[in-house]
Amino acid sequence: MKTNTVKGMNDYLPADADLRDYLQSTIMRVYKANGFNRIITPIIEDIENLEKSEGGENLNLMFKILKRGEKLNKAIAAQKLDELSDMGLRYDLTLPLSRYIANNRAKIMMPFKCIQIDRAYRAERPQKGRLRELTQCDIDIIGSQSYCCEVELIDVTAKALLEIGISDFKVRISDRRILKDLLLHFGFSESDIGTVCISFDKISNIGADGVEAELKDKALPPSGIEQFIAFAKNPLGLEDIIHLLPNNAYIEDLKNIISNVHALCDGKYAIAFDISLVRGQGYYSGTVFEIESSAFRGSIAGGGRYDGLIGKFTKEEIPAVGFSIGFERIFCILQEQGYKIPSAKKKIAVFYEDFLPAYKKVQTFHAAYDVELFEKPKKLGKFLNKLEGFGFHGYLVADESDEIKLLSHQ
C-alpha cells in the first residue's frame, strides 16, 4: 500500500488546515457581508454537460468517470470508446452553477448573487499553486446585464484579498467583444475569431512570435496575421482603440467599469485595460478580468461575463458574470510568507490522571484558549518539548494546579 497522496493532491497537517479554514471563512464573511449567498453543487456532473460547456483547455483536463457494470461492458464490447463515461468531475464551478440556475430558477430571486467555495478537479501537470484537486472561491451575479455587476464583483473580490493580507495587486480587464471587433477590423472572418483568441491567450507564455507561428500553421489570412502581430507586439490603449472602432458599444461600459473601480479602490490596488487578456474558457462572452499579484507569477483570481452558458440549459439567454479567487495560489503565497492567523486563540495542553475532573476543568478555559487534553505521561518534560514544536502556548497539570505554565519558548 502506498502512503503518498495521488499526484497533484495534498494532505494537510493541522496548522495548514487551520490556515485554509481561516482564509476560506474570512473570504466567505466578506462575500456574505456584501450580499452574496452560498450555494452548494455536486462535484460530479453529467458528461454531456461538461463536454458541451465550452471550457477551453479544461475539457482536455477533465477527470471522466467510467460507466458501471453492464453498461460499461456493453460499451467496451462495442468498441465505443467515446461512450465509456457518463459522468465527470467538475473542472470549475461555473458550469455547475449554470445548471443549478436552470434547475432552481423558480426558487431564486433575480438578480441572484451567489457564493461557491468548493473543490474542483483538473488532470493537469502539478506545480506550485496548481493542483489536480483545487479549491475555488467564486462569486457570481446572475440575471443582470449592467456593467455595475462587474464593478461590484471586482470590488468585493479585492476586499476579500485585502482582508486576508494579499496586497500589491493589479486588476487587468478587457472585453472579448472589443477584441472580436478588432480582429474583424484586421481582416479575420467571424469563423476565425475563436482560434485566433486561443492563440492570443498564450502570448504571455510563447510571445508574439509564437502566436504568429501558430496562426500561420492554422492557414489564416496573411494580411490579418501581419496586422494582428504588429498590434500584439505594441498593444493599443483603450483611447487608441476608440479611434479604430469609433462606434463600438462596449468601450463606454469598459471605461465606466474602470473609472468606478478607481473611485472605489482608494489607491489600495490598481486596475488597467489590457487587450491581451483573453482567458481560455470559450464560454466567456464579454468582459474578462484577472488579478495579478507581485508575490506570485500569473493570476490569483479571474473571471468574466458568460451570458450564453445558462442558455444552453434554458434555451433562453440569461446574463451572468462571475469572479473566482484561485485559492491554492493564495494559500501558497501566505504559507511561504509565514502568515499567522490574526487573533487566533492560543493553544494549551491540560494533563490529567483523573479524567472526569480534568475534563470539567477544561470547559472553563474554552473562552480564552484552544485546549487539548492528554493523559499525563511518565516523562512530562520530554513531552513538553514535543508540545513546543506543535505550537502550544502553555500547559497545566489538572490534578496539581489551576495555573497555566508557559512553555520555555514563550
Structural domain includes residue 5: no
In this prediction, residue 174 carries a pLDDT of 94
Same domain as 276, residue 361: no
Backbone angles phi, psi at 163, to 5 degrees: -65, -30
- Position 409 scores a pLDDT of 54
Domain limits for position 96 = 14-336
Rg (CA), the chain: 26
Helix (H) or strand (E) segment spanning residue 5: none
The helix (H) or strand (E) run that includes residue 121 is strand 112-121
Looking at 295, 318, 336, the residue that finishes a domain is: 336
**What pLDDT is recorded for position 237?**
83
Q: What is the DSSP letter of 92?
A: S
User: Does residue 266 lie in a domain region?
Assistant: yes
What lies within 8 Å, CB to CB, of 48 at 6+ separation is none
- Give the separation between CA 132 and CA 327, rounded to whole angstroms: 13
Do both 382 and 292 map to the same domain? no
Residue 190: predicted pLDDT: 86
Which of 305, 336, 367 is the C-terminal boundary of a domain? 336
Name the stretches of the chain with pLDDT < 50: 410
pLDDT of residue 87: 93
Q: Are 217 and 365 within one domain?
A: no
Domain match, 56 and 85 both = yes
Interior/surface letters 185-207, b for 16+ CB within 10 angstroms, e for the rest = bbbbeeebbeebbbbbbebeeee
- Over residues 218-263, the pLDDT tens digits come to 888 888 888 888 888 887 788 888 888 888 889 999 999 999 999 9
Q: Which pTM was predicted?
A: 0.90
What DSSP element (H or E) covers 134? strand 133-142
Instruction: Report strand pairing: 112-121 vs 37-38.
Output: parallel
Residues 254 and 355 in one domain: no
C-alpha cell at 352: 490529567
Residue 294 sits in the same domain as residue 366? no
**140 and 213 share one domain:** yes
Domain boundary among 310, 336, 362: 336
For the chain, the domain total comes to 2
> Is 350 found in the same domain as 318?
no
- Structural domain contains residue 355: yes
Q: Which ranges of 105-250 would DSSP assign to H, the alpha helix?
A: 148-163, 176-186, 193-200, 203-217, 222-233, 238-244
Quick check: bond before 221 cis, omega within 30? no
Determine contact, residues 180/279, Cβ cutoff 8 Å: no
Same domain assignment for residues 330 and 351: no
Q: How far is it, in rounded angstroms, from Cα 267 to Cα 271?
A: 10
- In a domain, residue 1? The reply is no
Q: Rounded to whole angstroms, how far apart are CA atoms 160 and 136?
A: 13
**Residue 6 covered by a domain:** no
